[in-house]
């Protein structure tokens, strides 16, 4: 599991940074999110990166299709 901490001076700025993080990391599975408000807005995201798993699954499907079509 991995963590990402994002902070900003305004709520709108935090929203923008979180949206950018999720856009750049579309294959993650979010485990937990913690928010904090003080002099700044902050969020801690606990996540698992599933990109490698999805790529392996995709390659396995391609290999099966190739083997099936080669007969």
> Alpha-carbon Rg of the chain, whole angstroms?
18
48-65, pLDDT tens digit by residue? Answer: 887 666 666 655 655 655
Q: Residue 56: what pLDDT? A: 61
Pairing of strands 41-49, 28-37: antiparallel
Q: Is the pLDDT of residue 41 over 90?
A: yes
For position 31, which CATH number holds?
3.30.70
CA angle 9, 13, 19 (to 5 degrees): 140
Q: Residue 58: what pLDDT? A: 55
* Structural domain boundaries, residue 47: 2-69
| pTM for the whole structure | 0.68
pLDDT band at 42 (very low <50, low <70, confident <90, very high): very high
Q: If you average pLDDT over every residue of the chain, what do you get?
A: 82
- Counting the structural domains of the chain, the total is 1
């Amino acid at each position: 599991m991995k963590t990402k901490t994002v902070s900003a001076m305004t709520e709108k700025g935090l929203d923008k940074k979180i949206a950018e993080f999720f856009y750049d990391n579309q294959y993650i599975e979010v485990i937990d999110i913690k928010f904090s408000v003080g002099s700044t807005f902050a969020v801690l995201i606990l996540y698992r990166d599933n990109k490698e798993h999805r790529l392996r699954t995709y390659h396995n499907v391609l290999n099966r299709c190739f083997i099936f079509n080669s007969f």
